[in-house]
A and B are shown apart, each in its own frame.
Chain A
Amino acid sequence: MDTLDTIVNKALSRRNFLAGAGAVAATATLAGCSNGNVTTPTTTSNGLYTDADVLNFALNLEYLEAEFYLRAATGSGLQASDTTAGSASPYQTVGSVTVGYAAQVPVTATSPSNQQQILNEIAYEEQQHVRFLRSALGTAAIPRPAIDLSFFGPLAVAAGIYTSAQAAFNPFASFDAFLIGAFIFEDVGVTAYSGAAPLISAAGVTAGYLTAAAGILAVEAYHAGYIRTSITGRGITNGSNTYIAIANQVAALRATLTVGNSAAPSSTGSVETNLVLPTSTVTPSAIVAADPTNAVGFARTVNQVHHIVYGSPTVGVKSGGFFPSGTNSIFATTTA
């Protein structure tokens, strides 16, 4: 089915994606991850990763999001049966979750009336993404990696939101704090799926992986739209720029962690759109995160996403940040 330029386009996209990723590529080849889904033999890069590797990369992120959102809604995380390893996965150890705070976002005087319902929705939807990906991957599903939600504290310090002398930033402390915590994840989720979609093989497209990934991408963007709308709307209601400014500090940190890496999606390397506080009915908001010229959403490579979730701009890092033992992924080591 593939026409020549389709194959060339795919090869080009993979080559860009893998630029400077020699170490990872070698690891992947040794891992022998060829489950038959990648079937375009005319390109040499096909042996580097499989569709299962791409979906498992996404599953790492969904585990992280689900553990965060479930705790925000209920105080506890995924049920054990949603965290286990598939029998064929090279990763067999279920990681533990470090929380570091009293989880579950309290209802306060400034809470929206439907706060708990909103928390329940996002928690449910990320939980179901975990279940969907695990089901789609079957025996290849990775187990939950070790997750450290207390990394929100150092991250907030790195972003300049808090000083290390203050009490650590707690994303469960209030609804506003929760929105900031969610903001850290959601735009990243959107860009991660955008970046991963073109990695899926032609056979994977036929198998429905691409449309599933695109559908999850849309849901992540619904969530991101929700989070950014809420932060902006509460700012307008309160006449306060406080949380908008904090969110923008987070965005600036994300940009710092990935600027300078290869395959930056825009010429400046920034894939962030700062929130603004609209002052009248005729000044635009900035809910959508997209490039300012064409209003097309951003993409990040798997490598750029790893820099962010590890909280490190350094090349060759295998773990850190939200993933103290690394992601369970062939893409786990950061590259340039």
Chain B
Amino acid sequence: MANQETQLVDDILIRGRRKLLTMGATSLAGMVLGAALPETAHAATTYTDNDILNFALNLEYLEANFYYQAAFGTTIDVANAASTAAGAPLITLNQTVGTKGAVTGGSKVPFTTVTVGSYAVETAVEEGKHVRILQTALGSLAVAQPAINISASVGGAWPTLATAAGVAGGATFSPYASDANFLVGAYVFEDVGVTAYHGAASLITSSSNLATAAGILAVEAYHAGLIRTTISYLDPANASGYLTITGQISALRAKLALAALLGVSGGTYDANPDDFGLASVNVSLAGGASVSSTRITDADATNVIAFSRNTTQVLNIVTGGGAVNVAGTATVSPATGVFFPAGLNGLFK
């Protein structure tokens, strides 16, 4: 299995573990003292399945609140007529692990197309269910919802991120403004969810947790396929510039992911991006001449295996670079910024 792609993936995983080992004793001590952990039998490692599931729960809090706001105009813990009609779970936020925070920003998208509106409703319901099952699986160990910023106001997460990506008019970008802008907002999250669950899969030790993680990984990739397909149909030849925007977002994610690796290793690693937008590429079929192809699937060009990111890489993306110091030579914990202004709750932060 000494092939390049899996070697890279292995390296990423190893680096992820090294990061964990160097995290320092304070967070580990806090974790052990936190409660009687049912799955801490894996004492030889520095983290448990529960830590990994809690990391995922932070991300699901973020995604679910974004989609609830876009589809229903509410947060996950406050039901309204729209969320009730759609059957979206009402989430209880009484968890005491970590620091509970509020959700800033977000509003209902004035959807005009049945296609995009119905997709938003479906995705919101499913992300709400992911929050619920992770909370249920973790029980009293589930982390509280951290402070989340999904604001499109000046200085909010969305204009900040869009500006960093170089999106034209990024300073006023709002994913709540239109069907197409909503798709861009969803694009920001979904491929990241895929890489995060993919990266987590190999860290999980219990086969039942692995099955759950694999199942959620599949759903995140269904969502990502849905979003990327819809943008591709909306603007197949990039006439409105949406394919360009996806490329800008993917490039930013790849840059932040790479920075996290460099911050860990302190050296050069891999200049190849781990993220691709929707611009067409050329491929060869059965040894034939090169032909043009869409890029619905976000995966490496050779083996077509979806990308994997470690927790530091994911942290650096969702905090807009908060996990790496300014010089890009060391990791920073807790990472704060953009979507998580006060950082995440749990071991991985």
Q: Do A and B bind each other?
A: yes
State whether the Cβ of A241 lies closer than 8 Å to any Cβ in chain B: no
How many B residues, CB 8 Å from partner?
87
Question: Nearest residue in B to A73 (C-beta to C-beta)?
Answer: B285
Q: A124-B293, A219-B221, A297-B217 are in contact. Are A129 and B205 (CB under 8 A)?
A: no
Residues of chain A with a CB closer than 8 A to B129's CB: 293-295
Contact A197 B201 (CB under 8 A): yes
Contact A284 B118 (CB under 8 A): yes
Give residues of chain A (59-98) contacting chain B, Cβ–Cβ below 8 Å.
Answer: 70, 73-74, 76-79, 81-82
Contact A74 B297 (CB under 8 A): no
* Alpha-carbon separation in the docked complex, A132 to B300 (Å): 12
Closest 6 CB pairs of A and B: A225-B225, A281-B117, A297-B218, A278-B118, A221-B221, A215-B305
Give residues of chain A (282-302) contacting chain B, Cβ–Cβ below 8 Å.
Answer: 282-291, 293-299
* Alpha-carbon separation in the docked complex, A198 to B237 (Å): 41
State whether the Cβ of A306 lies closer than 8 Å to any Cβ in chain B: no
B178 to chain A, nearest CB (A): 13
B60 to chain A, nearest CB (A): 10
State whether the Cβ of B9 lies closer than 8 Å to any Cβ in chain A: yes
B128 to chain A, nearest CB (A): 8
Contact B198 A218 (CB under 8 A): yes
Q: Name the one of A193, A287, A296 contacting B119, with C-beta atoms under 8 angstroms.
A: A287
Main secondary structure of the interface of A (DSSP, over half): helix
Contact B194 A218 (CB under 8 A): yes
Main secondary structure of the interface of B (DSSP, over half): helix
* Alpha-carbon separation in the docked complex, A296 to B214 (Å): 8
A241 to chain B, nearest CB (A): 13
* Alpha-carbon separation in the docked complex, A132 to B288 (Å): 18
Q: A128-B303, A297-B219 are in contact. Are A229 and B132 (CB under 8 A)?
A: no
Q: A129-B304, A290-B219 are in contact. Are A197 and B214 (CB under 8 A)?
A: yes
State whether the Cβ of A121 lies closer than 8 Å to any Cβ in chain B: yes
Residues of chain B with a CB closer than 8 A to A222's CB: 221-222, 224-225, 228, 296-299, 306
Q: Name the one of A116, A131, A295 contacting B130, with C-beta atoms under 8 angstroms.
A: A295
B192-223: CB near A (< 8 Å → 1, else 0) gives 00100010011001111011101111111111
State whether the Cβ of A162 lies closer than 8 Å to any Cβ in chain B: no
Q: A79-B286, A229-B230, A278-B114 are in contact. Are A118 and B296 (CB under 8 A)?
A: yes
Contact A121 B293 (CB under 8 A): yes
Residues of chain B with a CB closer than 8 A to A128's CB: 302-304
State whether the Cβ of A254 lies closer than 8 Å to any Cβ in chain B: no
State whether the Cβ of B115 lies closer than 8 Å to any Cβ in chain A: yes
Residues of chain B with a CB closer than 8 A to A225's CB: 221-226, 229
- Besides A6-B206, A10-B207, 14 more A-B contacts (Cβ < 8 Å) are A3-B41, A73-B285, A117-B293, A120-B291, A125-B299, A132-B303, A190-B218, A198-B210, A215-B306, A221-B220, A222-B225, A236-B118, A280-B117, A288-B126
Q: Name the one of A5, A77, A120, A210 contacting B41, with C-beta atoms under 8 angstroms.
A: A5
Q: Name the one of A76, A113, A215 contacting B308, with C-beta atoms under 8 angstroms.
A: A215
A168-203: CB near B (< 8 Å → 1, else 0) gives 000000000000000000000010011001100000
